[in-house]
Amino acid sequence: MRTRLDRPIVVGLDGSTDSARALRYGVQEARRAGCGLWLVNVIHEIVPVAPMWPLLTSDTLVDVGHELLADARLVVEELSHSTVPVEVETALGPAVQILATASERARMVVLGHRSAGFVERLFTGSTTFGVIARSACPVVSVPHDWDENRAEQRVVAAVDGSSVSSTVLAYAFAAASERSARLEVVHCWRLDPFYSYLVDEWSVEQEWDAQTHGTIRGFIDEWSGRYPTVPVETRLEYAPVADTLVRCSKDADLLVMGRHGHGGLGLRMAMGAPGSVTRAVLQHARCPLAVIPVGGPAEPDDDLVAATSHAGGAAEVDAPESR
C-alpha cells in the first residue's frame, strides 16, 4: 500500500454508519492537524455467497468499494470546504492486516466502533481491537454516541506509572493543546481480590498513594514545560481501572491510553489479563478513545506524531485478538 500524502490520517470505511462516523471524525482531525486523509475500503478475499446473490464476486465488491470511496471523497470535500487533501484505496485482504500495514505510513488510524454484548466481547473477533493490537501509530475508536458538534475542552490521559506514561502524556498534552482543552491525568488501580484476603488493604492503599504522587508528578513535569498553557489536573483513585476510565470518558473530547497491559508501580498492580482493560474501555468509552503504541521514548519534535515516532518497533503488550 502506498500514498503520496505525508503522514495522513487513515480512515477505514465499509459503508456502515460506524465508518461514516469515523470519516467525520477524521475530517475534523485532519483540519486540526493540517494533514491529508487516506480513505481505505477493505474487501476480504473470502466472500460468503448466499443463494440470493449468485453473481456476487470480488470484482463486484471492488466496484461497490470504488463507489463508496467516491461518495466519501465528496463528504470530505463538503465538510472541509475542499481544504483537506484525500487519497482513496480499495484493498483486497483481511481488514486488520491491511489497516495495520497502512498504519506504518500514517499519523493515526480512525475507526468507528460498535459496542457489543457481553458474550460477543468474550468470544468474537473485533477488527478495531485487532488493529489496535498491531498498529504502528495511534488508533482512535469513535463510539456511536460521539457528537461532532459538541466540544467539552477536556482530554483525559490514563497513565499506569510505567515508562509508557511518558508517551501517553506526550500525545495527550499535544491533543489538549490543539483543542485548547484542559488535561486530566488519571491513575487508578485496585488490589487483586485474591490478595485482599492476605494483606491489609488499607495499608496497601496508603502505601500506593504515597508512592504514586511523586511518580506521576514526575511524568507530568516532563511534558508540562513544553505545553505551559495546558491546565492539568491529576486524579488518583483506588478503584477498578476499566470502570474508572469509562466513567472519566463521559463529557470528554478524547481519552488517551497506552497499548500496555501491566502497571509499573510494583507487582501489586494487577491489571488483569493482557489487553483486558483496553478491551473493556474500548467497548464502553463515551468519547473517542486513542490507544497509543509504545516502542521507545518520545522525541518532542512534532507534537502528536512525536509521541509515537518509535512505534514501528513496538512490542506487542496487549494480546492480539484472533480473527
Q: What is the pLDDT of residues 5-46, one digit of tens each?
A: 999 999 999 999 999 999 999 999 999 999 999 999 988 655
Q: Is residue 21 part of a domain?
A: yes
pLDDT of amino acid 194: 55
The residue-averaged pLDDT of 220-233 equals 95
pLDDT of amino acid 51: 57
pLDDT of amino acid 73: 97
Residue 317's pLDDT band (cuts 50, 70, 90): very low
- Same domain, residue pair 241 and 170: yes
- Same domain, residue pair 188 and 44: no
Whether the pLDDT of residue 122 is over 50: the answer is no
For the whole model, what pTM was predicted?
Answer: 0.80
Q: Is residue 317 part of a domain?
A: no
- Same domain, residue pair 141 and 154: no
pLDDT of amino acid 321: 37
pLDDT of amino acid 45: 59
- Same domain, residue pair 161 and 289: yes
- Same domain, residue pair 226 and 216: yes
Higher-pLDDT residue of 24, 56: 24
Residue 224's pLDDT band (cuts 50, 70, 90): very high
Domain boundary among 98, 125, 149: 149
- Same domain, residue pair 57 and 114: yes
Q: Is residue 307 part of a domain?
A: no
Higher-pLDDT residue of 275, 323: 275
Q: What is the per-residue DSSP string for 82-136?
A: T-S-EEEEEEES-HHHHHHHHHTT-SEEEEE-----HHHHHHS--HHHHHHHH-S
Q: Is residue 65 part of a domain?
A: yes
Residue 153 C-alpha cell reads as 475542552
Domain range for residue 23? 1-149
Strand partners, 41: 13, 90
Domain boundary among 95, 118, 149: 149
Amino acid of residue 116? A
Whether the pLDDT of residue 230 is over 80: the answer is yes
Rg (alpha carbons) of the chain, rounded to whole number: 20
Domain boundary among 114, 149, 184: 149
Amino acid of residue 46? I
Residues of the chain with pLDDT > 90: what percent? 52
Strand, coil or helix: 279: helix
Q: Is residue 120 part of a domain?
A: yes
93: alpha, beta or left? (left if phi > 0; alpha if psi -120 to 50): left
- Same domain, residue pair 169 and 96: no
Of the listed ranges 89-93, 172-176, 269-273, the least confidently predicted one is: 269-273
The secondary structure element, H or E, covering residue 3 is: none
Average pLDDT of the chain is 79
pLDDT of amino acid 199: 53
- Same domain, residue pair 8 and 120: yes
Whether the pLDDT of residue 198 is over 70: the answer is no
**Distances in whole angstroms, Cα of residue 138 to Cα of each of 53, 217, 229, 256, 291:** 38, 24, 24, 10, 6
- Same domain, residue pair 162 and 114: no
Report the CATH number that the domain containing residue 23 is assigned in CATH: 3.40.50.620
Whether the pLDDT of residue 191 is over 80: the answer is no
Q: Is residue 26 part of a domain?
A: yes
Residue 231's pLDDT band (cuts 50, 70, 90): very high
Whether the pLDDT of residue 69 is over 80: the answer is yes
* Contact (Cβ atoms closer than 8 angstroms) between residue 2 and residue 98: no
Q: Is residue 219 part of a domain?
A: yes
Strand ranges, E, within 137-295? 139-142, 154-158, 182-189, 232-238, 254-258, 289-292
The structural domain count of the chain equals 2
Report the CATH number that the domain containing residue 179 is assigned in CATH: 3.40.50.12370
- Same domain, residue pair 295 and 182: yes
- Same domain, residue pair 207 and 297: yes
Amino acid of residue 195? Y
- Same domain, residue pair 8 and 113: yes
Whether the pLDDT of residue 118 is over 80: the answer is no
Q: Is residue 323 part of a domain?
A: no
